[in-house]
Amino acid sequence: MRPFRFGVALVAPGSRAEWAAKCRRAEDLGYDVVGVVDHLGRVAPLTALLLAAEATERIKLNTYVLNASFHNPVLLARDLTGLDEFTGGRLEIGIGAGYVRAEFEAAGIEWGTPGQRFARLKGVVAEIERAYAGRPRPPLLLGGRGDRMLTFAAEHADTIAFTGTAPGAAEGRLALAGPAAVAERVDFVKRALGDRDTELNLMVHLVRITDDRQTALEAAHQLVPHLGVDELAELPTVLIGSAEAAAEQLLRTRETLGVSYFTVIEEDLTRLASVIEKLR
């Protein structure tokens, strides 16, 4: 069974000092990975990770995840190999196909069909693999939800990231998949993997550490009204309860789904810290 890894996806821009302090805070709290998202209006991922490397000592640095359509594959491979060298081999490369149509339109990039966006992602992965031919490349994380993307990830990725979302997430609401749907996606990947031993990652979208679990579950239900309170209580992408209960939930998720790498969003950075401490 793989050991736990914990990551945080940083999204909020700020000054150099604020960004560096935030990255150091993640390292001090016991996180294994600092990730940076690739969305308009947020920080520039590669620049932010270079500064994160300067501000920290051990923590891994992950693009969580690059939108393949936003980048020229050849130039991106050049920039990633440079970042890998300048960060002393701490880079982990995460790539996705992109899912926010408004961002494509704002950037003047053709939205296209799902097949076209998937083809762009395949092109980026192929160029990265070409750039590292004959030498070790950084671990590759591929994330998604659909059969085509997850099958490709099972063939190429060192880490497969599950979004844990349902259709509607791209419209800006917290559209989480139910427990059965999350389990089905994991089972699909395990069948596609065959004998490959690949790390599995899951985004935890809500963390609420509290002794009043029922009240917190009911409050969370207002954010995710399409799921019932009982479903939220069983959902691996939601951690609600005491630190002890949350730790036990993550242990169960690792045991039942085989997921050992969990990522939270920036606003939950400090909330998860007590849970990480118990699991160490």
CA dist 243 and 149 (Å) reads 34
List pLDDT tens digits, range 73-108.
999 999 999 999 999 999 999 999 999 999 999 999
pLDDT at 175: 87
pLDDT at 166: 87
> Which residues in the chain come in under a pLDDT of 50?
none
Residues 6+ apart with CB under 8 A from 203: 9, 161, 162, 163, 164, 237, 262, 263, 264, 265
pTM of the model: 0.96
pLDDT at 136: 96
* Structural domains of the chain in order of their starting residue, each with its CATH number: 5-279 (3.20.20.30)
List pLDDT tens digits, range 159-187.
999 999 987 655 556 789 999 999 999 99
What helix, strand, coil percent values describe the chain, rounded to 5? Answer: 50, 20, 35
Q: What is the 3-state secondary structure (H, E, C) of 148-182?
A: HHHHHHHHHCCEEEECCECCCHHHCCCCECCHHHH
SS3 at position 59: coil
Beta bridge partners of 67: 96
List pLDDT tens digits, range 192-206.
999 999 999 999 999
pLDDT at 218: 95
SS3 at position 228: coil
pLDDT at 172: 52
Token digits of residue 63? 């693009």
The answer to whether 198 and 155 have CB atoms below 8 angstroms apart is no
The number of CA neighbours under 13 Å toward the Cβ of 222 is 5
Average pLDDT for the chain: 95
The number of CA neighbours under 13 Å toward the Cβ of 157 is 29
Strands (E), the chain: 5-10, 33-36, 60-63, 66-67, 91-96, 140-144, 159-162, 199-204, 206-209, 238-241, 261-265
